[in-house]
Structure 1
Amino acid sequence: MVYMYLFPLIFFSAEDYSCGGLLSSSSGTLQSPFYPRNYPNNANCVWEIEVKSNFRVKLTFEDLQMEGGRCLSDYVEVYDGPLQTSPLLGKFCSGYYRTYTSSSNLMTVRFHSNSRYTYRGFQAKYYSSPADESTTLLCLPDYMHVVVSRYFLQSHGYSAWNLTLNDPLCTPNITSEHVAFDIPYNHCGTIREGNNNTITYSNVIRGSSSGTVITRNRNLLLHVNCKMLQDTWAQIMYVADDNFAVNETQYSRYDVNLTFYDSSYFSRPVYDSPYYVKINQNLFLEAYLHSSDPDLVLFLDTCVASPTPHNFTTGTYDIIKNGCVRDHTYATYYSPSRHILRFKFNAFQFIQSNPSIYLQCEFVVCRAYDYSSRCYQGCVNRSKREASSEHESVIVVTGPIQLWELDPEYGKEYESK
Structure 2
Amino acid sequence: MEVVRGLLSLALLIASCLAEVNSTEDEGKSNCSASLGGANIAENHKALVLQLNPSENCTWTIERPENESIRIIFSQIQLDPDGSCQSENIKVFDGTSTDGPLLGKVCNENDFVPVFESSFNTLTFQIVTDSATVQRSVFTFYYYFSSDISIPNCGGYLDTLEGSFTSPNYPKPHPELAYCVWHIQVEKGYKIKLNFTEIFLEIDKHCRFDFVAVYDGSSTTSGLIGKVCGRVTPTFESSSDSLTVVLSTDYANSYRGFSASYTSIYTENVNTTSLTCSSDKMRVIINKSYLESFNYNENDLQLTDSTCRPKLSNVVDFSIPFDGCGTIKKVEDQSIIYTNIITFSASPPSEVITRKKQLQIIVKCEMEHNSTVEITYITEDDIIQNQNALGKYNTTMALFESDSFEKTILESPYYVDLNQTLYVQVSLHNSDPNLVVFLDSCRASPTSDFASPTYDLIKSGCSRDETCKVYPLFGHYGRFQFNAFKFLRSLSSVYLQCKILICDSSDDQSRCNQGCLSRRKRDISSYKWKTDSIIGPIRLKRDRSASGNSGFQHQTHAEETQNQPFNNLHLFSFMVLALNVVIMVTVIARHFVNQRANYKYQKLQDH
* Aligned equivalents of 2:336, 2:330: Cα separation in 1: 6
1:17 is matched with which residue?
Answer: none
8 Å Cα contact 2:510/2:526 also seen in 1 = no
8 Å Cα contact 1:158/1:209 also seen in 2 = no
* Structure 2 counterparts to residues 61-140 of structure 1, below 5 A: 133-140=271-278
1:168 is matched with which residue?
Answer: 306
Taking CA–CA contacts closer than 8 Å with sequence separation of 6 or more, which of the two structures ends up with the larger relative contact order?
A: 1
| CA offsets 1:177-207 (integer angstroms, 9 cap, x no match) | 4222111111111100012310111010112
Given the alignment of the two structures, is residue 148 of structure 1 paired with residue 323 of structure 2, yes or no? no
2:455 is matched with which residue?
Answer: 317
Change (3 A) 1:187 1:389: closer
Name the amino acid aligned to 1:406: D
| CA offsets 1:39-58 (integer angstroms, 9 cap, x no match) | xxxxxxxxxxxxx967xxxx
* Aligned equivalents of 1:199, 1:403: Cα separation in 2: 43
* Aligned equivalents of 2:271, 2:469: Cα separation in 1: 50
- SS of residue paired to 1:384: coil
1:72 is matched with which residue?
Answer: none
Name the amino acid aligned to 2:339: S
| CA offsets 1:18-70 (integer angstroms, 9 cap, x no match) | xxxxxxxxxxxxxxxxxxxxxxxxxxxxxxxxxx967xxxxxxxxxxxxxxxx
Query: How far has the Cα of 1:405 moved from its partner?
Result: 4.7
Given the alignment of the two structures, is residue 367 of structure 1 paired with residue 513 of structure 2, yes or no? no
Change (3 A) 1:201 1:131: farther
2:297 is matched with which residue?
Answer: 159
| CA offsets 1:352-394 (integer angstroms, 9 cap, x no match) | 3222211111111111222232212222357524676798621
| CA offsets 1:303-333 (integer angstroms, 9 cap, x no match) | 0011111134x32111001112111211244
- SS of residue paired to 1:269: coil
8 Å Cα contact 1:139/1:252 also seen in 2 = yes
Change (3 A) 1:240 1:349: same
Given the alignment of the two structures, is residue 217 of structure 1 paired with residue 356 of structure 2, yes or no? yes
* Aligned equivalents of 1:132, 1:410: Cα separation in 2: 61
Change (3 A) 1:389 1:144: closer
Change (3 A) 1:403 1:290: same
1:331 is matched with which residue?
Answer: 469
* Structure 2 counterparts to residues 45-60 of structure 1, below 5 A: none
* Aligned equivalents of 1:271, 1:160: Cα separation in 2: 44
8 Å Cα contact 1:231/1:364 also seen in 2 = no
1:393 counterpart (493, 516, 530): 530
Name the amino acid aligned to 2:399: F
- SS of residue paired to 2:427: strand
1:348 is matched with which residue?
Answer: 485
- Larger radius of gyration between Structure 1 and Structure 2: 2
1:232 counterpart (371, 381, 394): 371
* Aligned equivalents of 1:383, 1:251: Cα separation in 2: 29
8 Å Cα contact 2:284/2:319 also seen in 1 = yes
Given the alignment of the two structures, is residue 246 of structure 1 paired with residue 385 of structure 2, yes or no? yes
1:197 is matched with which residue?
Answer: 334
1:307 counterpart (423, 446, 453): 446
Query: How far has the Cα of 1:410 moved from its partner?
Result: 11
* Aligned equivalents of 1:409, 1:345: Cα separation in 2: 22
* Aligned equivalents of 1:249, 1:393: Cα separation in 2: 20
* Aligned equivalents of 2:547, 2:440: Cα separation in 1: 43
- SS of residue paired to 1:270: coil
Name the amino acid aligned to 1:366: C
Change (3 A) 1:318 1:280: same
Q: Note the aligned Cα RMSD (angstroms).
A: 3.3
| CA offsets 1:1-28 (integer angstroms, 9 cap, x no match) | xxxxxxxxxxxxxxxxxxxxxxxxxxxx
Change (3 A) 1:215 1:391: closer
1:295 is matched with which residue?
Answer: 434
Change (3 A) 1:250 1:131: farther
- SS of residue paired to 1:237: strand
* Aligned equivalents of 1:409, 1:220: Cα separation in 2: 73
How high is the TM-score relative to the length of structure 2? 0.43
* Aligned equivalents of 1:352, 1:145: Cα separation in 2: 49
* Aligned equivalents of 1:319, 1:240: Cα separation in 2: 50
* Aligned equivalents of 2:354, 2:519: Cα separation in 1: 60
8 Å Cα contact 2:511/2:525 also seen in 1 = no
8 Å Cα contact 1:209/1:217 also seen in 2 = no
* Aligned equivalents of 2:301, 2:378: Cα separation in 1: 13
8 Å Cα contact 2:373/2:388 also seen in 1 = yes
Change (3 A) 1:292 1:274: same
Change (3 A) 1:320 1:409: closer
Query: How far has the Cα of 1:231 moved from its partner?
Result: 3.5
Change (3 A) 1:161 1:408: closer
- SS of residue paired to 2:289: helix
1:260 counterpart (370, 390, 399): 399
Given the alignment of the two structures, is residue 357 of structure 1 paired with residue 494 of structure 2, yes or no? yes
1:272 counterpart (411, 416, 429): 411
The more displaced of 271-280 and 325-334 is: 325-334
| CA offsets 1:113-170 (integer angstroms, 9 cap, x no match) | xxxxxxxxxxxxxxxxx89542111212232111111211121233322222111222
Query: How far has the Cα of 1:290 moved from its partner?
Result: 0.8
* Aligned equivalents of 2:506, 2:468: Cα separation in 1: 25
1:111 is matched with which residue?
Answer: none
* Aligned equivalents of 1:387, 1:270: Cα separation in 2: 37
Change (3 A) 1:409 1:178: closer
- SS of residue paired to 2:290: helix
Query: How far has the Cα of 1:404 moved from its partner?
Result: 2.6
Change (3 A) 1:342 1:135: same
2:244 is matched with which residue?
Answer: none
8 Å Cα contact 1:135/1:148 also seen in 2 = yes
2:318 counterpart (181, 203, 209): 181
8 Å Cα contact 1:159/1:207 also seen in 2 = no
The more displaced of 274-283 and 382-391 is: 382-391
Change (3 A) 1:233 1:382: farther
Change (3 A) 1:243 1:255: closer
2:38 is matched with which residue?
Answer: none
- SS of residue paired to 1:161: helix
| CA offsets 1:78-136 (integer angstroms, 9 cap, x no match) | xxxxxxxxxxxxxxxxxxxxxxxxxxxxxxxxxxxxxxxxxxxxxxxxxxxx8954211
Q: Which segments of 5 or more consecutive residues in structure 1 lack a partner in the other structure?
A: 1-51, 55-129
- SS of residue paired to 1:406: coil
